[in-house]
Structure 1
Amino acid sequence: MDLNTVLDVRDARRREPWRPGDAWLGGGTYLFSEPQPHIRRLVDLSRMGWPPLSWQPDGSLDIAATCTITELSRFARTLPTTAPLFEQCCRAFLASFKIWNMATVGGNLCNGLPAGPMVSLTAGLDGTVFLQGQDGATRRMPVTEFVLGAGVKNLREGELLRSVRLPPNALDSRTAFRQASLYGLGRSGALVIGACDPADGSLAVTVSAATIRPFRFWFALPPTAAELRGAIDAAVRPDEWYDDIHGLPAWRRHMALRLAEEIRRELTTEDHR
């Protein structure tokens, strides 16, 4: 779609003051999908030259905001434990190869949509986002605190999501993935990820798509079915179950609880069921 209100496109490598009507341009798959009447100038990140994925000295993984879904999928195949989860979340886009080659991890996070699979992936693996302000100030926070609601993000004016970091213990975890949709190839109505830490036996269950923002539940010891269900119902308010054409709140809650229990059974031993 042509954005007929855009008057200029600026290379992000050229520092200029941020002004009203500016917007960051990553892959553009969302920006160019519908009218953006408030945007007057695009700040293009495509030539920043950030490595799409990079290992840190402590074993954590940094994913650049400009990393495409194709780059993430190819890299993740080298991961010994969590490769299936990365691919499952990439496939949850239900998008063509053209979208995969343009859509970025940062763009999906900054859209903050409930069904955003990169939100689900990074929240499920205890990811933290790295933000840079126009004044050079930086912030780091969990993905679960970055996405605050349906399309609502913890972003200040002109602030840039530079990268997201996944910790080494999460990348070594045994994982499980469940997704539900009203249609065979429809948008996620509920997406639940489980991650069991092999070092201490803790279990994290992350509920997304069914809720307006991702919810991550961490248990030092494998929970019982009642404990897991109770934790979810205590944390998610009735108005935080998402409501749109892809699923009513009651159905989304039912599916999230059902999928969470399936994951609990898959990732915990017989003794804890």
Structure 2
Amino acid sequence: MDLNTITEVVRRPADRPGAQWRPGDAWLAGGTWLFSAEQPRLRRLVDLTALGWEPLVADDTGLEIAATCTIRELYAFSPPAEWRAGPLFAAGCEAFLSSFKVWNAATVGGNICLSLPAGPMITLAVALEARYELWARDGSVHVVDALDFVTGDHRNVLAPGEVLRRISIPAHALRKRVAHRRFSLTRLGRSTVFLVGTHTPGSQDLLLTVTAGTTRPVRLAYHTLPDERTLRQGIDAVPAEVWFEDPNGTRDHRRHLARHFAEEIRRELAAGD
């Protein structure tokens, strides 16, 4: 869609682009959502891709994903063999309701900052205990837990002019065993629920992440693997207003699916390798 209110595109922003921010601006990365709808309040786009951030950096501490990393680049990434959670990257990318053309442009950071309930990069980041590095307009840097970033449907903690710079996933989370379940009304449809469970080998823990069916990510953490009843109680304890409702499912339907898939995940991880 043509954005006929835009009067300028900043192709070469400063290394710390927040200092240039002014009302009517929007950060431009892939632009796949930005150009899909009218944006009457926008006057200027600031192109973050020109900053040349390295898409993916893997080392002994874990994985750093630049906010401008495309979905195609993430999907093509081959994680080390010891990162048992590695297959979750492909699963998250495949959860996109999009074509390969969108994959070539859409970015990890864009999906996170859009903060829609069905954002699969949000699921991926929260399940793998990621932290986000945010750049403020004054040049300061602060870090937030992925779980705390999204606060509701299309809402997050970003202040005007703040930039999501990178997503950092710790190595200990990448070494965990993982099980996931996703439901949609059609084979390539938008996620109705997307659940991920992770388990540390040699321990009895369980970290269950519930997304897509909720307006913000929900994490249930257990030091000891729960039984079916305890896990169900954890799902039922999620406040009613947190469950999401749209044409893809009612709140009750999504809660029912979460109970069902959570138990499947629990059994799969309890069974061991």
Q: Smaller-chain TM-score range?
A: over 0.9
- Structure 1 position 113 matched with structure 2 position 110: no
Which 10-residue stretch deviates more, 81-90 or 251-260?
A: 81-90
Once residues 23 and 200 of structure 1 are traced to their aligned partners in structure 2, the CA distance between those partners, rounded to angstroms, is 45
The structural deviation recorded for 1:232 is 2.2
Counterpart position of 2:234: 231
1:140-219 to 2 correspondence within 5 Å?
A: 140-219=143-222
5+ residue gaps, structure 2: none
Q: Partner residue of 2:63?
A: 61
The match for 2:261 is: 259
* Contact kept? 1:147, 1:154, Cα under 8 Å: yes
242 and 224 in structure 1: CA distance in 2 versus 1, 3 angstrom threshold: same
1:12-161 superposed matches below 5 A: 13-14=13-14, 17-56=20-59, 58-76=60-78, 78-80=80-82, 81-161=84-164
Q: % of aligned pairs identical? A: 47
Q: 1:167 deviation in Å?
A: 0.9
Q: Distance in 2 between matches of 1:79 and 1:104?
A: 25
Q: How far, CA to CA, are the matches of 2:201 and 2:41 in structure 1?
A: 48
Query: Structure 1 residues 79 and 210 mapped into 2: Cα distance closer, same or farther (>3 Å)?
Result: farther
Gap change, CA 1:27 and 1:150, over 3 Å in 2? same
Distance 1:132 1:12 in 2: 18
How big is the shift at 1:227? 1.4
SS in 2 for 1:145: helix
SS at match of 2:144: strand
Query: What is the letter of the counterpart of residue 119 of structure 1?
Result: I
> What is the CA distance between 1:219 and its match in structure 2?
1.0
Assess if the C-alpha contact under 8 Å between 1:76 and 1:87 holds in 2.
Answer: no
Separation in structure 2 between the aligned mates of residue 108 and residue 79 of structure 1, nearest angstrom: 27
Question: TM-score, structure 2 length as denominator?
Answer: 0.94
- Corresponding letter in the other structure for 2:209: T
Distance between the aligned counterparts of 1:199 and 1:40, measured in 2?
A: 54
SS state at 1:213 partner: coil
Does the 8 A contact of 1:76 with 1:86 survive in 2? Answer: no
Compute the displacement of 1:246 (Å). 1.2
- Structure 1 Cα separation of the partners of residues 243 and 99 of structure 2: 29
Query: Contact (CA 8 Å) 2:152, 2:216: kept in 1 or not?
Result: yes
How many matched pairs? 268
Shift of 1:55: 2.5
Q: Which residue type is aligned with residue 7 of structure 2?
A: L
DSSP-derived class of the 2:194 partner: strand
Name the aligned partner's letter for residue 180 of structure 1: F
